[in-house]
C-alpha cells in the first residue's frame, strides 16, 4: 500500500469507530515495510489490512476492512485467506499469529484455524490523574530498560517497533523504578479522539496505578481510552478506579501456539487495531 492508501485505510478505521492513535500506522509501516496489503479495482482501494511481522517470530493480522459497497460477496473472505498465507510465508515455521476479532466474526476466524484465547475490553472516560514526582518522563534516560522490560510482556522482541512507537510528537512516556529495579512503563498517545494509553506494563498493581495516575494527570480533562486483557482482573479494577467504563470489546485469537507472556503485568495492550 502507498502512504496515501494507508491514510485512507486509517480513515476507514475511524469510520468503523476504531479510533487508532495518530501516527500508529506509520509506526507499524516503519518497523515492517511489508505490513500493509490491499485489494484494488483499477487504481482505487477496495480493501486493506495489516499483516505485521515482528522479526519473523510473531505475526499479527489487523485493520481488515472492505469498502462498504464491496462487502458480503465473498471478497473479504478470499482476501483474508490470502493475507494469512502471505503472512505465514514471512514468519518462522513455528511463529504464532495473533488477531483481535469483533465478536460477530469470531466463528469465521475459528473456521480459518484461529483459536480464541480471551477478550480485550476498551474502557473510556475523561482523564483525571495525580502527578507522581518519582515517575520519569524522559524516555532517553530509560529506553534501554523499557526495551528489556517489554520482553516477556509481548509475544516477541520488538525493539525496532518500540523505538518508532516512542518517537512521536505529542506522546507521553512514564517509567518507574522501585529501589534500583525497573518496575514498569506506560505510554499515552494522541488519537483521532482524545488519547489512548498503551502499552502499560508493570510488575505489580501499585506500579501500574502510579504510572497510570501520572499519565492521566498529563492529559487532564481529555477523553482517554485504554484496551485491557479481560483476564487481568487487576487491570480492569484499576481502569474502573479512574472512572473509565467499557465501550467496546473483541476476542483475541491465535493461530499456532498461544504465546506465553506475563499477562498479569499487562495493564494496557499496545494496539487492538493493527497488533
Ligand X SMILES: CC(C)(COP(=O)(O)OP(=O)(O)OC[C@H]1O[C@@H](n2cnc3c(N)ncnc32)[C@H](O)[C@@H]1OP(=O)(O)O)[C@@H](O)C(=O)NCCC(=O)NCCS
Interaction between residue 48 and ligand X (CB under 6 A): no
The answer to whether 36 and 56 have CB atoms below 8 angstroms apart is no
Q: How many residues bind ligand X (CB under 6 A)?
A: 17
> How many angstroms separate the CA atoms of 212 and 242, rounded?
9
Contacts of 244 (CB under 8 A, 6+ apart): 123, 124, 125, 224, 225, 226
For 216, the grid coordinates are: 492521566
Binding ligand X (rule: CB under 6 A), the pick from 20, 59, 76, 186 is 76
Q: How far is the CB of 228 from ligand X (least distance, A)?
A: 18
The answer to whether 175 and 214 have CB atoms below 8 angstroms apart is no
Other CB atoms within a 10 A radius of the CB of residue 201 amount to 27
Binding ligand X (rule: CB under 6 A), the pick from 4, 69, 104, 138 is 104
Binding ligand X (rule: CB under 6 A), the pick from 37, 38, 105, 147 is 105
Interaction between residue 16 and ligand X (CB under 6 A): yes
Interaction between residue 69 and ligand X (CB under 6 A): no
Residue 116: burial class (beta carbons within 10 Å; 0-12, 13-18, 19+): middle
> How many angstroms separate the CA atoms of 157 and 151, rounded?
6
Interaction between residue 39 and ligand X (CB under 6 A): no
Binding ligand X (rule: CB under 6 A), the pick from 17, 77, 113, 152 is 77
Q: Looking at 73-81, 88-96, 138-146, 211-219, which segment touches ligand X (CB under 6 A)?
A: 73-81
Interaction between residue 72 and ligand X (CB under 6 A): yes
Interaction between residue 9 and ligand X (CB under 6 A): no
Q: Provide the binding-site residues for ligand X, judged by CB under 6 A.
A: 16, 64-66, 71-77, 101-102, 104-105, 108, 111
Amino acid at each position: 500500500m502507498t502512504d496515501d492508501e494507508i491514510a485512507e485505510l486509517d480513515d476507514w478505521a475511524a469510520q468503523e469507530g476504531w479510533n487508532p492513535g495518530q501516527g500508529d500506522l506509520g509506526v507499524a509501516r516503519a518497523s515492517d515495510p511489508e505490513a500493509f496489503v490491499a485489494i484494488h479495482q483499477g487504481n482505487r482501494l477496495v480493501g486493506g489490512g495489516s499483516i505485521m511481522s515482528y522479526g519473523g517470530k510473531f505475526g499479527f493480522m489487523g485493520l481488515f476492512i472492505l469498502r462498504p459497497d464491496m462487502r458480503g460477496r465473498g471478497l473479504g473472505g478470499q482476501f483474508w485467506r490470502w493475507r494469512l498465507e502471505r503472512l505465514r510465508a514471512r514468519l518462522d515455521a513455528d511463529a504464532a499469529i495473533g488477531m483481535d476479532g469483533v465478536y460477530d466474526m469470531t466463528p469465521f476466524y475459528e473456521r480459518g484455524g484461529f483459536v480464541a484465547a480471551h477478550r480485550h475490553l476498551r474502557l473510556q472516560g475523561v482523564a483525571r490523574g495525580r502527578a507522581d514526582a518519582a515517575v520519569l518522563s524522559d524516555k532517553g534516560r530509560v529506553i534501554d530498560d523499557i526495551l528489556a522490560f517489554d520482553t516477556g510482556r509481548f509475544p516477541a522482541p520488538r525493539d525496532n517497533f518500540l523505538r518508532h512507537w516512542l518517537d512521536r510528537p505529542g506522546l507521553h512516556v512514564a517509567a518507574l523504578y522501585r529501589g534500583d529495579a525497573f518496575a514498569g512503563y506506560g505510554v499515552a498517545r494522541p488519537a483521532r479522539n482524545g488519547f489512548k494509553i498503551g502499552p502499560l506494563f508493570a510488575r505489580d498493581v501499585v506500579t501500574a496505578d502510579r504510572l497510570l495516575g501520572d499519565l492521566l494527570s498529563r492529559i487532564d480533562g481529555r477523553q482517554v481510552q485504554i484496551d485491557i486483557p479481560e483476564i487481568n482482573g487487576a487491570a480492569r479494577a484499576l481502569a474502573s478506579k479512574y472512572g473509565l467504563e467499557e465501550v467496546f470489546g473483541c476476542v483475541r485469537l491465535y493461530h499456532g501456539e498461544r504465546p506465553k507472556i506475563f499477562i498479569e503485568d499487562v495493564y494496557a495492550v499496545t494496539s487492538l487495531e493493527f497488533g
